[in-house]
Structure 1
Amino acid sequence: MKRRLYITLAILHLFVAIGAIPAGYALFTKPDGSSLGMPTEWLEGSPFPDFFIPGLFLFIILGLGNLLTAMPIFKQHKLSGIAGLSMGGILVIWIIIQVVIVGLASFLQPLFFFVGLIQLMLGYWIFRLAKV
Structure 2
Amino acid sequence: MKTNFSVDTAPKRSDEPIWWSLFGAGGTWFAMITPVTILVLGILVPTGLIDSDALDYERVKGFASSVIGGLFIIATLALPMWHAMHRIHHGMHDLKIHAGLAGKIACYAFSGLISALAVLLVVMI
TM-score interval for Structure 1 and Structure 2 normalised by the shorter chain = 0.3 to 0.5
TM-score by length of 2: 0.45
Q: Highest Rg: 1 or 2?
A: 2
Greater fraction of residues in helix? 1
